[in-house]
């Protein structure tokens, strides 16, 4: 089982990204090459890597989503983000796969709103 690794952005990120882009050009597997290029592109903001079958705490989930832990707790209590409890404990665990699904849905919703706003602007609607 791989562990969750957070790579914070720092002054070496630009150099590391260049190394990753060069390495991606040498990889035969296109999906893996795309993953490495995506990793390189996001180094400036920090990157979190985790296996889909792992679980994380609400605090780690918040860090991965770029939101507060309180917001993650609200998502859980509203049923928008599934969570389980550790056996015999009050501590919650969130599947990384559920975080990935949530983030995809969030991005899709944001893109839909952007399209709607652009359509309204193109139609000449004042705001």
Residue with the bigger pLDDT between 37 and 43: it is 37
Of 48, 51, 41, whose CA–CA distance to 62 is shortest?
A: 48
pLDDT above 70: residue 118: yes
Q: How many domains does the chain have?
A: 2
Give the pLDDT mean for 22-44: 86
Residue with the bigger pLDDT between 105 and 81: it is 81
- What would the two tokens of residue 1 be? 């089982």
Instruction: Provide the domain limits for residue 122.
Output: 53-127
Domain containing residue 60: CATH number: 1.10.1660
Q: What is the pLDDT of residue 84?
A: 94
Of 59, 51, 49, whose CA–CA distance to 20 is shortest?
A: 49
Q: How does pLDDT run across 89-102, given as a tens digit for each residue? A: 999 999 999 998 89
Same domain, 41 and 69: no
Same domain, 42 and 100: no
Residue with the bigger pLDDT between 124 and 79: it is 79
DSSP code string of 2-64: ---EEE---TTHHHHHHHHHHHHTT-S-HHHHHHHHHHHHTTTT-EEE--TT-EE-HHHHHHH
């Amino acid at each position: 089982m791989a562990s969750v690794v957070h790579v914070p952005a720092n002054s070496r990120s630009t150099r590391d990204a260049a190394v990753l882009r060069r390495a991606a050009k040498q990889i035969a597997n296109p999906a893996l090459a795309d993953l490495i290029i995506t990793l390189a592109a996001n180094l400036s903001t920090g990157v979190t890597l985790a296996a889909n079958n792992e679980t994380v705490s609400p605090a780690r989930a918040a860090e991965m989503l770029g939101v507060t832990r309180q917001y993650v707790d609200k998502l859980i209590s509203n049923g928008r983000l599934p969570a389980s409890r550790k056996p015999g404990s009050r501590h919650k665990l969130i599947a990384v796969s559920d975080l990935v699904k949530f983030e995809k849905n969030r991005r899709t919703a944001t893109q839909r709103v952007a399209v709607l706003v652009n359509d309204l602007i193109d139609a000449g609607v004042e705001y």
